Every structure is written in structure tokens, then in C-alpha cells.
DNA sequence: ACGTTGACTGCGCGTTCTGCGCAATACATT
DNA sequence: AATGTATTGCGCAGAACGCGCAGTCAACGT
């Protein structure tokens, strides 16, 4: 397996940038004996693959969550998600034990989680762990499991095994789609199974889903949660959907979106 | 104490940038109803105070301090650790299932792990998870547990619960100190218990400890591993210690340190 | 009440950096 | 040796940048 000169250079650029935190285009150009154009092309490629973040005149090592959020284009409906996450964060009380599912909206909730006395947080989401690991005031627990890289969360028998040893005051679920009948759409059966199990172990259940997810079914696995749960969404929600959904007897919380995002 | 409009805006910029990872100048300008110049000035100030990192056309959240401190720890005796980790990485074969402990040397091994067919990696270390989560060719499993923030790894009953459901071809342990009698020094009993359990679930066991750790006892909890294991260290190891250690019947692998260690 | 002061903002300027197309070159394969 | 692909250097138009200047706003002291 041959590595081209360019690949080796890119590797060294990454190493250099992560080591000293910053690398300038001109420095790198001089160091490797190539023109700035070549370095810029390298930086563009490395930035596309998330290994580096581009700056004006150079590059820096990205923060942990930058890679994911930058790469996955999860800025979509950011305002709606932030509004929903904000409301969810307000529900948590000191001393509680809460369970955080995977997903970008729930990750936002994790970030906005207030510093409460004796709060215990459990999750199977890697981004949530990265986000909360530096918060000394809360007790962080990870359900283990096999990594499902698409959702950056752990699933499988090990996850369920851990879950069966715990219960929670509040559960915050993410989802890929909500049906008008109150079912949750997921990419794989593993996830639906896990969500149902999580629900059984929790006293209060919230599903965080911005309005674009309501009535949306991108996949074909469905979780049915018979325990009462509250849908938290934004004010862009379709009234017809909400009518139908409310007839299932479940609560709905609607948060106004702060600003208009798109032009 | 009145906060000026500008200060509030800068605060929101920081919140926005850290939450979505990235914020563009034009977006921010439109959102706050000011010109790009003003946003640029804000960004310049926030970047000067270290709250933000400037990019071309916007700003991103800065790299985590935790990351740097971890890197600094990795820089101590870096060459020795790298040599040890390099040898350890060569031991792994395709199709194997390996278990990685916490610690900076083992994290280095994770970084250097070759791309092998069908490799399964299990760990309870957060840095290792962060390092390996983007490697699609390997199956990553996390033992859950309660986060022990000092070592950035999971410990406790949940960890042991998961461990009891798994076995491994190779186990790579880190440690805070190695006794001449072959015991391992750790900060807390939780960790010694976990290491002993890991050892019982693994066919081949390696302890990665650079020479400064040999005969060193910074704490007062000791793990006793009766299964045969191999000590991997560097050529700065004290001959007397090695003689005594070898008399316990255990193997030793000594790696030459590539470069002069410290100036 | 009024003028002063300081902070903040918008605008225009020249400069720097960037992205892209094109042609030349280096490298690997046949 | 020939061929095809990847990589590179260069030039140019456009975007983003920092900076200085002038106008605006609010707070403060006299």
C-alpha cells in the first residue's frame, strides 16, 4: 500500500495543526516546499473530511463537536431545535435522574442543561458524553453497547442490559419522525426496541421533535410507546397533524421559534 | 449593572457558535440587524479573549481545554509511550477482539491501531471512544458505567455487568505504577477491581507502562493479576527492577526510545 | 438642562486570502 | 516507451479582512 507524497503531507499537516493548535498557510507552504495553492487544496480537503477547521490564512484543530455538527449539516432547523431544547432544559429539577436519547435536538438539551444540585444524567449518545464529561457537578452514566456510527450512539444487548438496572425521573427522546397515531419512526429496529425499553424505565417521557418531523416517515421501523408522553415541538407544526395527534390523548407543548432562519 | 446591547449580542454569538459549532458572519449580521463590520469586530474581540476561534467567513467554538490537558499529559515521556504503543499496535491481528483500558499510553495505542479486517474494539475510556468512533472499519463497543472524571473512563457495577458478557483475545492495560512483585498501582479500588475482572475475561494480557512507572507507587490501591501477562516498557527501565520483576515469571518487552526524551 | 465623554456603529478604502480554471508536470500502470 | 491519472503551479476575479473616519446614542458630571 503506497502513500502518495500528498497524502503524507496532509497527514503531517493534521499532526502539526493538532499539536500546536494552529498552522498558517504560508508556514506550511514554506515548510513543505510547495505553493500556498497546494496547501489551500490540502486544507480544503482536510476541512471537508472534518479533520481540520479552516481559518483565515490557516487552519486549526477543531473542537470535538465541530466535526459532527459541521459535517452532518445538522444546522437545519436550528432555531426550532434550540427552542425545544430550551423548554426541555427547564423541566429538569435538582436531584433528579434523567435519561438522554441520541439525536441533535437532545444534544442541544444536554448543552443547555442547567447546573443543578445532585443531577444524574444517563445516556448512550457519544456527543452527549463529550458534551457533559467536563461538568463536575453532575453524575454522568453511560449505557454501554455497540456503536451505531450513523447516530453516534450505542445500541444492542449491552445497552439494554444496563438499562434494565436503572430507572429515571425523566426521559428525553429524539426521533426521525412522529406519526399522527403517536408512533416514532426510526432507521433500525434496534433503536425502536431501545426507545420502548427506555420508556418503560422512566416516569415522565418527552419526545423532542421539531415541526418538520411531524407526519414524516423517512424510514420503516416504528416504536410504539404506550406510556403517556409529551410531544415538544415548534410553532411551525401542521394544525391538522396536531389535531389528530391530540386525539390519541397525548400532551403537546409548542414553542415559538425565536427568529426566522432562512431568507 | 447594565449590559450594553453589544455585550448581549456578543454573549448570544458565543452561545450560538458553541451550540451549532459554527456561525457565519453574514448570518449573524442578518440575525442581529447589524452590518458585517460590527460582527467582525465582535468576533475579533471574542477571538482575542479566547471564547471563539475565527474562521474564514465566521467563527467556531474553540478546542476543548480538556483536549489540550490530555495532550499535555501525552507529551510527558511521549517518545517512550509512543514506542510502547507502537509495539502494542503491531500485536493485533485481523478478526480479533481487543479490550482497551484507560490511560494516555493506551490512548496512543488506539490512535495507532492499524486498519485490520474485522477488528472489534471494546473500551470504557472516553478518549478512546472519541478517537475510534470515526473508524468505520472496526466495530467499537463501549462498556458503560459511571464516569470517573479523573481518568475519563467508566467504572462501577454497570461496567462489570457488561464485561461479564464479553471475552477478548487481547487486553491492553494502563496503570499508574508497577510493583516489582507484579502488582499494579491505581488511584481507587474501583479501578483495581475492574482491571482484575478485565484480565479474567482476556486470553492475552499486556500492561503498557513506560519506565518511569516501574517501581513507582503514587497511590495505595493495588491490582493483583494472577493470569500471565506481559510488561511492555521502554529501555530506560531500571535493570534491578527488571531482574526482580522477571523472577515473578512474567514476560517483559523492552522498546528502544526513538529520540532523546527530554531536553 | 446641557455639554462632554466614551462606546458603538456604518461606510469606504486598500490589502489579503480564497476558489477556480488551465496548462504543465510527476507518478503509476500497462 | 506510452498512456492515463493525480498533483501541482500560476493567474485572475471575487470574497472577506482590517483599518480609519465620521455620525449616532446613551450615560455622566457640571
| Cβ-defined contact of B147 to A139 (cutoff 8 Å) | yes
pLDDT at B97 over 60: yes
Q: Best residue in A147, A165, A260 to probe B by mutation, most B CBs within 10 Å?
A: A147
Rg (CA), chain A: 21
The b-or-e profile of A187-212 (16+ CB within 10 A means b, else e) is eeebbbbbbeebbeebebbbbbbbbb
Output the furthest CA–CA distance in chain B (Å, rounded).
75
Residue B44 backbone zone (phi > 0: left; psi -120 to 50: alpha; other: beta): alpha
Strands B22-24 and B58-60: antiparallel
Q: Which of B6, B30, B16 is nearest to B59 (CA)?
A: B16
The answer to whether residues B96 and B27 belong to one domain is no
**Mean pLDDT value of segment A57-79:** 67
The answer to whether residues B17 and B87 belong to one domain is no
The answer to whether residues A229 and A101 belong to one domain is yes
**Cβ B101 vs Cβ B126: under 8 Å:** no
CB-strand contact B57/D, under 7 Å: yes
- How far is residue B167's CA from residue B203's CA, in Å, rounded to a whole number? 8
* Domains contained in chain B, number: 2
The answer to whether residues A19 and A119 belong to one domain is no
* Residue nearest C18 (alpha carbon to C1'): A40
Nucleotides in C strand less than 7 A from protein CB: 7-12, 16-21, 27-29
pLDDT at A261 over 80: no
Residue B119 counted as domain residue: yes
- In terms of average pLDDT, the best of A62-76, B69-83, B234-248, B249-263 is B234-248
- How far is residue B138's CA from residue A190's CA, in Å, rounded to a whole number? 19
Q: How far from B155 is each of A94, A146, B110, B133, B172, CA to CA, in Å?
A: 24, 17, 19, 20, 16
Q: Which of A21, A73, A22, A210 is nearest to B22 (CA)?
A: A73
Q: Which pLDDT score, from 0 to 100, does residue B67 have?
A: 46
Cβ-based burial of B63 (10 A; exposed 0-12, middle 13-18, buried ≥19):
buried
Q: How far is B193 from chain A (nearest CA, A)?
A: 18
Q: Which of B9, B23, B14 is nearest to B56 (CA)?
A: B23
Q: Name the residue with higher pLDDT: A185 or A51.
A: A185
- pLDDT (tens digit, 9 = 90+) per residue, A140-198? 999 999 999 888 899 999 999 999 999 999 999 999 999 999 999 999 999 999 999 99
* Residue-range definition of the domain harbouring residue B119: 69-255
- pLDDT (tens digit, 9 = 90+) per residue, B3-13? 677 788 888 88
CB-strand contact B36/C, under 7 Å: no
Residue A18 sits in a domain whose CATH number is 1.10.10.10
- How far is residue B119's CA from residue B117's CA, in Å, rounded to a whole number? 6
A22-24 sheet: strands from edge to edge? A22-24, A58-60, A53-55
The answer to whether residues B249 and B220 belong to one domain is yes
Q: Which of B210, B131, B151 is nearest to B178 (CA)?
A: B210
- pLDDT (tens digit, 9 = 90+) per residue, B116-140? 989 999 999 998 998 888 788 899 9
CB-strand contact B38/C, under 7 Å: yes
Q: Which pLDDT score, from 0 to 100, does residue B3 have?
A: 64
**pTM for the full predicted model:** 0.80
Angle of helix B36-48 relative to helix B25-32, nearest 10 degrees, comes to: 110
Residue A25 counted as domain residue: yes
The grid coordinates listed for A200 are 418503560
Q: Which pLDDT score, from 0 to 100, does residue B68 have?
A: 41
The answer to whether residues B84 and B163 belong to one domain is yes
Among the candidates A62, A86, A104, a domain finishes at A62
Where does chain B have alpha helices with state H?
A: 5-20, 25-32, 36-48, 65-75, 78-91, 104-112, 126-132, 157-163, 189-200, 239-246
Residue A139 sits in a domain whose CATH number is 3.40.50.1360
Interface of B with A (CB under 8 A): 18-22, 30-31, 53-56, 60-64, 66-68, 71, 124, 126, 129-130, 133-134, 136, 139-147, 149, 152, 154, 157-159, 161-162, 165
The grid coordinates listed for B52 are 471563539
Amino acid at each position: 500500500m503506497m502513500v502518495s507524497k500528498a497524502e503524507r503531507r496532509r497527514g503531517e499537516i493534521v499532526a502539526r495543526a493538532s499539536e500546536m493548535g494552529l498552522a498558517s498557510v504560508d508556514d506550511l507552504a514554506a515548510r513543505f516546499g510547495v505553493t500556498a495553492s497546494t496547501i489551500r487544496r490540502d486544507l480544503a480537503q482536510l476541512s471537508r473530511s472534518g479533520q481540520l477547521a479552516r481559518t483565515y490564512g490557516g487552519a486549526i484543530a477543531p473542537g470535538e463537536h465541530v466535526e459532527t455538527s459541521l459535517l452532518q449539516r445538522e444546522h437545519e432547523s436550528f432555531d426550532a431545535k434550540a427552542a425545544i431544547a430550551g423548554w426541555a432544559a427547564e423541566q429538569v429539577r435538582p436531584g433528579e435522574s434523567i435519561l438522554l436519547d441520541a439525536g441533535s435536538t437532545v444534544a442541544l438539551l444536554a448543552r443547555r442543561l442547567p447546573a443543578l444540585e445532585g443531577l444524574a444524567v444517563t445516556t448512550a449518545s457519544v456527543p452527549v458524553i463529550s458534551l457533559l464529561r467536563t461538568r463536575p457537578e453532575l453524575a454522568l452514566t453511560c449505557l454501554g453497547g455497540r456503536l451505531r456510527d450513523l447516530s453516534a450512539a450505542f445500541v444492542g444487548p449491552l445497552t439494554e442490559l444496563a438499562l434494565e438496572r436503572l430507572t429515571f425521573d425523566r426521559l428525553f427522546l429524539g426521533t426521525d419522525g412522529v406519526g399522527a397515531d403517536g408512533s416514532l419512526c426510526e432507521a433500525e429496529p434496534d433503536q425502536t426496541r431501545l426507545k420502548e425499553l427506555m420508556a418503560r424505565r422512566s416516569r415522565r417521557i418527552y419526545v423532542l421533535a421539531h415541526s418538520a418531523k411531524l407526519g414524516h416517515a423517512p424510514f420503516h421501523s416504528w416504536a410504539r410507546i404506550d406510556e403517556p408522553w409529551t410531544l415538544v415541538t415548534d410553532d411551525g407544526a401542521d394544525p391538522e397533524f396536531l389535531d389528530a395527534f391530540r386525539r390519541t390523548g397525548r400532551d403537546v407543548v409548542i414553542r415559538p421559534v425565536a427568529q426566522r432562519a432562512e431568507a
